[in-house]
Structure 1
Amino acid sequence: MMRKGLGLALAGTLALGLLAGCSSGGDTAPAQEEAFSPSRYAAAINDIARPAADKEADALRKPGELLAFAQIRSGEVVGDYIMGGGYMTRLLAQATGASGRVYAFQPDEFIAFRPEYAAEQDAAIAPYADNEGNPVRVFPLRGPIAAPAFPEPLDAIISVMNLHDLYLPAMPEGTADAALAALYAALKPGGRLIVVDHRAVPGSGAAAADSLHRMDEALARAALERAGLVLEAESDLYARPDDPRSANVFDAAIRGRTDQFAWRLRKPESAQ
């Protein structure tokens, strides 16, 4: 009886396998695509250690949506390029989890212009240090804006509202191309670069970066593609069509409500 029962079970399993093969054309069913939604990052956004100013900015900055667009995973190694006050650094520290690492880069040029950037970097890193004050999981980096020295290959880099800074007249000629080449080199093959910046009037070129702190999309895309990156996705997350794009982004009438582009670019898997 045992052999007979076993035989029937095997026959049933074989039949189910054949039926499954017929229904899928004989191919194995593809794995379900990984889901990235704002709710995935609720713990990072609701972290009680985040400053009140960060939480007040969330309504406009939409951190859950941005992290989902960036496809940040627990355990990843991520760079925050031109970290500013640390808003994204703190989110990434939680979103990458205990097994991830975040490198928060503050350019020497920014610190020279505004020394408070150094203190803000120190403050953003401090909560993730050990009892001796040594950085753990979140590491500060400083250096020339065109040569960020990330110490290991990165799964992703995020740069928010700073691409236009590479085109400021105060920067040496060729800064943008050198910086983007460095970011490309820092990524693992298949790694992602997420860029958010204020839209300029089309065709305004580098002049808009200086006068309005805005980025001409055509100029940006050409530079990113020249570096070897491939545009994978665009998001209208920060699209505000009523912005005429003619005002300085620090103008009180428009600050925090500018029309912005959000791009996810990828380093080809075949890249070395």
Structure 2
Amino acid sequence: MNAHPTPKSRALRYSLAALSAALLVACAVPPASTASARADSAALDAAISGPQRADKARARDDYRHPKETLTFFDIAPSQSVLEIAPGGGWYTDILAPYLRDHGKLFEAQYDSPNAGLAAEEQSGRASFAHRLAAAPAVYGNVTIGTLRDGRFSGFPADGSVDRVLTFRNIHNWIKDGQIDANLRAFYAALKPGGILGVEEHRAAPGTSLQQIIDSGYVTEAYVIEHARAAGFELAGESEVNANPRDTKNYPHGVWSLPPTYEGGDLDRARYAAIGESDRMTLRFVKPAH
């Protein structure tokens, strides 16, 4: 004959049942941070696969790894992001829809002091602005400004930005003598703890400054040295955009490779097989103190 459970044993049984149920719920519902990360990842996937991106742009994904690169730079949809010298808008087409609802995207068109490029740059800026204005549903939360002589105009850049991003631009600033002024401007634009994300064609260690200017390939040591001089700390390095097939010794420098093919049809198949350049991907932080 079974003994009747005592009030104490019944209370213990109920407590154990409640604990088991709580554990089951905890296992079934992911932590808020995990759920948020999954939602951010899905939103980034949607931006990368969105119809605003042309097929020609998508063809570069295998070389530029946009999801892995932006994830390495710790981009989130609620941030304010400043992209430098967007060119035709390859990354803009991803960042704009990703940040549209909860964040903010600033685009700083680089105004080179090279007078010979003035007409070309003006045409490119006008085309970029027209394309963004024609699709407000995608680009309605984008503000276009200018970077000239290490100073921004067109939007506030005084310690209020979460991320500054630059893709394959540093070699131009070295040639123009603007690299240090620009890096100081990026530092000033960022919040304490903000991140500067750099992707750049990577030269072999020991490459001279003149070779850097002529070839478009920059040494990692050069970038790190000048970023540190501007106040940044190196916070991470990624090989996501590395290309070991790139020998970096071509008649037209990095511009021999796709997508530029500056040599025309000469050795085009060889350069196509190499693909886009070997690139460093570096993450710098503005110290929080």
Instruction: Verify the 8 A CA contact 1:38 1:67 in the aligned structure 2.
Output: no
Q: 1:265 and 2:272 equivalent?
A: no
> What TM-score comes out, normalization by structure 1 length?
0.79
What letter is aligned with 2:286? K
Q: 1:87 and 2:106 equivalent?
A: no
* Greater helix fraction, Structure 1 or Structure 2: 2
Q: Give 1:254 deviation, angstroms.
A: 4.0
What letter is aligned with 2:92? T
Q: Structure 1 vs Structure 2: percent identity of aligned residues?
A: 28
**1-structure distance, mates of 2:162, 2:144:** 17
Instruction: Verify the 8 A CA contact 2:83 2:164 in the aligned structure 1.
Output: yes
Q: Give 1:38 deviation, angstroms.
A: 6.2
Give runs of ≥4 in structure 1 deviating > 6 Å.
31-34
Q: 1:137 and 2:141 equivalent?
A: yes
User: Residue 50 of structure 1 is aligned with which of 34, 44, 53?
Assistant: 53
SS of the aligned residue for 2:192 comes to: strand
What letter is aligned with 1:122? A
Kindly tell me: are residues 223 and 254 of structure 1, through their superposed partners in 2, closer, same or farther at Cα, counting changes over 3 Å?
A: farther
SS of the aligned residue for 1:104 comes to: strand
Instruction: Verify the 8 A CA contact 1:86 1:124 in the aligned structure 2.
Output: no
Q: Give 1:249 deviation, angstroms.
A: 0.8
Q: Size of the alignment, in residue pairs?
A: 246
**2-structure distance, mates of 1:146, 1:80:** 14
Alignment gaps of 5+ in structure 1: 17-28
SS of the aligned residue for 1:166 comes to: helix
Alignment gaps of 5+ in structure 2: 1-6, 20-30, 262-269
**2-structure distance, mates of 1:136, 1:33:** 27
Q: 1:66 and 2:69 equivalent?
A: yes
> What TM-score comes out, normalization by structure 2 length?
0.74
Match of 2:118?
112
Provide the alpha-carbon RMSD of the alignment: 3.2
What letter is aligned with 1:117? G
What letter is aligned with 2:130? A
Instruction: Verify the 8 A CA contact 1:159 1:194 in the aligned structure 2.
Output: yes
Kindly tell me: are residues 210 and 54 of structure 1, through their superposed partners in 2, closer, same or farther at Cα, counting changes over 3 Å?
A: same
Kindly tell me: are residues 93 and 127 of structure 1, through their superposed partners in 2, closer, same or farther at Cα, counting changes over 3 Å?
A: farther
SS of the aligned residue for 2:164 comes to: strand
Larger Rg: 2
Q: Give 1:143 deviation, angstroms.
A: 3.7
